[in-house]
A and B are shown apart, each in its own frame.
Chain A
Amino acid sequence: MTNSATPTLLIPQTRMAELDISSVSVSYRNHRTGKQQDVVTDASLEVLERESVALVGESGSGKSTLARVALGVQSIKTGEVLIRNQSRYATKRVTGQDSEVMGDVQGVFQDAVGSLDPRQRIDRGLGELRRRYPKRTEWISDAELMEQVELPIDLLRRYPGQLSGGQAQRIAVARALVVKPRLIVADEPTSALDLSAQAQVARLLMHLRNDHDVALLFVSHDLALVRQLCDRIYVMENGRIIESGAIETVMTCPQSVSTRRLIEEGGLHEVPGTGMNEHARGDTPEARV
């Protein structure tokens, strides 16, 4: 189900798609029955240059699986995934041999501390990325990067376990940013954080979108934050995309029962510390960090 105000009418046609997922299905083997079970069915999704797109849905709806497809770490059964018109894979898992394509898309995960190697100091992790992408990462020094994510430079010598959840999430964003990605896939990056850390990470994501022209695929069930950060929204239920469209249109005039329920449950509260009210959009000057 697609709202009348379709994304293609809102976005100028000259903008290239950073990510184009078309008719993708993903299935897992059910260990009890031994049969393949679809967790994502015939899903299509597009994120254009400098666009922020939300992917929402209840737990188990398949949104994190689709995020992993976008990141190239999830096998797909059918369909196609294009990164800037280049095929990411047909039906095989990507192994990272294509440096440019893999650097274009970076991920930020829900469990920030868990997404960083506990045995690797923060500066060593950044160094590893610099060796992997020597050209892409030369635009910024570690010190400047820490400034971008509003963290003191001495945290670079720490291990992930020595960071708070909010600090770890900002380090995770820094690790994504250092590669100068064109698209960041953020899979519930604020849901495991306290309110203050949520606000810091939300501000950081807005900053990336506004000042670094990074497109964002934002997976969340926090509709208030989604409304502040994103231009368009896709709603998933039972592995299918059931609704999509411009954020204001879907939020004010939801077509499906599931979307209505999400909006009712999600509320429209302001995310503290973002400097935005519930109707504000991220592209207003005062929203910038």
Chain B
Amino acid sequence: MNPLARKVFTRVGTGLITVIFAATIVFFLARVTGDPTHQILGENASQEAIDQLRNQLGLDQSIFVQYAEFLSKLAVGDLGTSLRYGIPNIELILPRLGNSFLLTAVAVAGGSAIGYILALLGATKRGSLWDKLSTSIAGIAQSIPPFWLGLVLVYFFALRLEWLPSGGVGDWTHVILPAVAIGMIPLAYVTRVGRTSIVSVLAEDYVLAARSRGFSERQVLLKHVLRASAIPVVTVIGLLTGAILSSTVTVEVVFSWPGIGSLANQAIQGRDFTLLQAMAIVTAVVFVLINFIVDLLYEVLDPRIRTR
């Protein structure tokens, strides 16, 4: 097997194992935390109703039979049917996932870009006013809760100034305010991690050597510093993307944004355990994909990784 095929095979295999492992944990957790039928029907439900629902959900079978059935359905992409809505979970999740992706992508891209510019300013002008300003902005961005910032943004830009819509999904203007609220998280982390990384690369001998060879500061930064310093930043962005994608419920509620976070909220309130189970599996798949993209970016940024 050639190295590229082996690499792809290993990555896909590792990803599948991760998803199966996550699905297994989700499956058993849903069952060890109590009988879902009690949670769905309530404490006063009759035994007959409970038995009927247990039979309907297959919960009256042994746990191993349930698990085998669960895995066989998962293998063909069947994530079950929502107890509350009565339609396949995947049909509920995918449109919401698309919305969440859009919001997360805009927030992470914008926040990270601004964060990296601030990091570059701080690192290349260490100790200056720019450095202090970028560090202060990162500190403020990190300490503001996104839902609170969301409320403030809605108050000023939607209600007072009437420049932007206060919520919902529509044209590109709808994504700005929630993206700004969420984007403070990557902005803060990328500024801090990026600054530290750039400062450390700037102190490397090969940067001094590049300067001494007659390259301008801009050329040195573009060709040697940015690429080398981007690896920890990409790691942070990858981790944050996954975390933001699956944890923006408060911001989604503030902006009435129909994303995966608000769907999870509805599933919890509706005791829709099959939907929650499906969402957990989809989230695991998303994390695997993000890690795969991050690994690819590592290879682009540091070609030595390809040669190992």
Point out residues on A near B: beta carbons under 8 Å: 68, 71-73, 95-97, 99, 102-103, 105-107, 109, 111, 114-121, 128-129, 132-133, 159, 161, 172, 175, 179, 185
A96-B217, A97-B216, A99-B214 as given contacts; A115 in contact with B228, CB under 8 Å: no
Q: Mark B203-215, 1 if CB is under 8 A from A, else 0.
A: 0111011111111
Query: In the docked arrangement, what's the CA distance between A73 and B213, Å?
Result: 10
30 contacts between A and B (CB under 8 A): A68-B208, A71-B211, A71-B212, A73-B211, A73-B212, A96-B214, A96-B219, A105-B212, A107-B212, A109-B205, A109-B208, A111-B205, A114-B205, A114-B206, A115-B205, A115-B208, A117-B206, A117-B210, A117-B228, A118-B206, A118-B304, A119-B304, A128-B223, A132-B213, A132-B214, A132-B215, A161-B304, A172-B209, A179-B214, A185-B212
User: Contacts of A117 on B, CB cut-off 8 Å?
Assistant: 206, 210, 224, 228
Q: Is B47 an interface residue (CB 8 A)?
A: no
User: Contacts of A128 on B, CB cut-off 8 Å?
Assistant: 223
Closest to B304 in A: A159
Query: In the docked arrangement, what's the CA distance between A117 and B223, Å?
Result: 10
Q: Return the contact of B213 from the options A111, A114, A129 (Cβ within 8 A).
A: A129
User: Contacts of A109 on B, CB cut-off 8 Å?
Assistant: 205, 208-209
User: Contacts of A179 on B, CB cut-off 8 Å?
Assistant: 213-214
User: Contacts of A103 on B, CB cut-off 8 Å?
Assistant: 214
User: Contacts of A71 on B, CB cut-off 8 Å?
Assistant: 211-212
Knowing that A115-B209, A132-B214 touch, tell me 20 more A-B residue pairs with CB under 8 angstroms: A72-B211, A73-B208, A95-B216, A96-B216, A99-B214, A106-B213, A109-B205, A109-B208, A114-B205, A115-B205, A116-B209, A117-B206, A117-B210, A117-B224, A119-B301, A119-B302, A119-B304, A132-B215, A159-B304, A161-B304
User: Contacts of B212 on A, CB cut-off 8 Å?
Assistant: 68, 71-73, 105-107, 185
Q: Mark B254-276, 1 if CB is under 8 A from A, else 0.
A: 00000000000000000000000
Q: Is the CB of A95 within 8 A of B217?
A: yes
Q: Is the CB of A119 within 8 A of B228?
A: yes
Q: Is B3 an interface residue (CB 8 A)?
A: no
Query: In the docked arrangement, what's the CA distance between A132 and B307, Å?
Result: 27
Q: Is the CB of A159 within 8 A of B211?
A: no
B208 to chain A, nearest CB (A): 6
Q: Is B170 an interface residue (CB 8 A)?
A: no
Q: Is the CB of A116 within 8 A of B206?
A: yes
Closest to A124 in B: B303
Q: Is B96 an interface residue (CB 8 A)?
A: no
Q: Is the CB of B206 within 8 A of A115?
A: yes
Query: In the docked arrangement, what's the CA distance between A14 and B45, Å?
Result: 108
Query: In the docked arrangement, what's the CA distance between A129 and B214, Å?
Result: 9
Q: Is B227 an interface residue (CB 8 A)?
A: yes
User: Contacts of B214 on A, CB cut-off 8 Å?
Assistant: 96, 99, 102-103, 132-133, 179
Q: Is the CB of A159 within 8 A of B205?
A: no
A114-B204, A119-B227 as given contacts; A107 in contact with B307, CB under 8 Å: no
A193 to chain B, nearest CB (A): 15
Query: In the docked arrangement, what's the CA distance between A254 and B68, Å?
Result: 89
B111 to chain A, nearest CB (A): 26
B168 to chain A, nearest CB (A): 45
Query: In the docked arrangement, what's the CA distance between A105 and B228, Å?
Result: 26
User: Contacts of A68 on B, CB cut-off 8 Å?
Assistant: 208, 212
B222 to chain A, nearest CB (A): 11
Query: In the docked arrangement, what's the CA distance between A91 and B118, Å?
Result: 28
User: Contacts of B301 on A, CB cut-off 8 Å?
Assistant: 119
A224 to chain B, nearest CB (A): 26
Q: Is the CB of B213 within 8 A of A159?
A: no
Query: In the docked arrangement, what's the CA distance between A191 and B219, Å?
Result: 30
Q: Is the CB of B215 within 8 A of A107?
A: no
Query: In the docked arrangement, what's the CA distance between A106 and B213, Å?
Result: 6
Query: In the docked arrangement, what's the CA distance between A159 and B215, Å?
Result: 20
A43 to chain B, nearest CB (A): 19
Closest to B208 in A: A73
User: Contacts of B210 on A, CB cut-off 8 Å?
Assistant: 117
Q: Is the CB of A159 within 8 A of B303?
A: yes
Q: Mark B222-246, 1 if CB is under 8 A from A, else 0.
A: 0110011000000000000000000
Closest to B211 in A: A73
Q: Is the CB of B213 within 8 A of A175?
A: yes
User: Contacts of B215 on A, CB cut-off 8 Å?
Assistant: 96, 132
Specify which of B210, B215, B301 lies most central, judged by the most chain A CB atoms within 10 Å of its CB: B210
User: Contacts of A185 on B, CB cut-off 8 Å?
Assistant: 212
User: Contacts of B304 on A, CB cut-off 8 Å?
Assistant: 118-119, 159, 161
User: Contacts of B224 on A, CB cut-off 8 Å?
Assistant: 117, 120
A233 to chain B, nearest CB (A): 23
Specify which of A115, A132, A185 lies most central, judged by the most chain B CB atoms within 10 Å of its CB: A115
User: Contacts of B205 on A, CB cut-off 8 Å?
Assistant: 109, 111, 114-115
User: Contacts of B216 on A, CB cut-off 8 Å?
Assistant: 95-97
Query: In the docked arrangement, what's the CA distance between A37 and B148, Å?
Result: 49
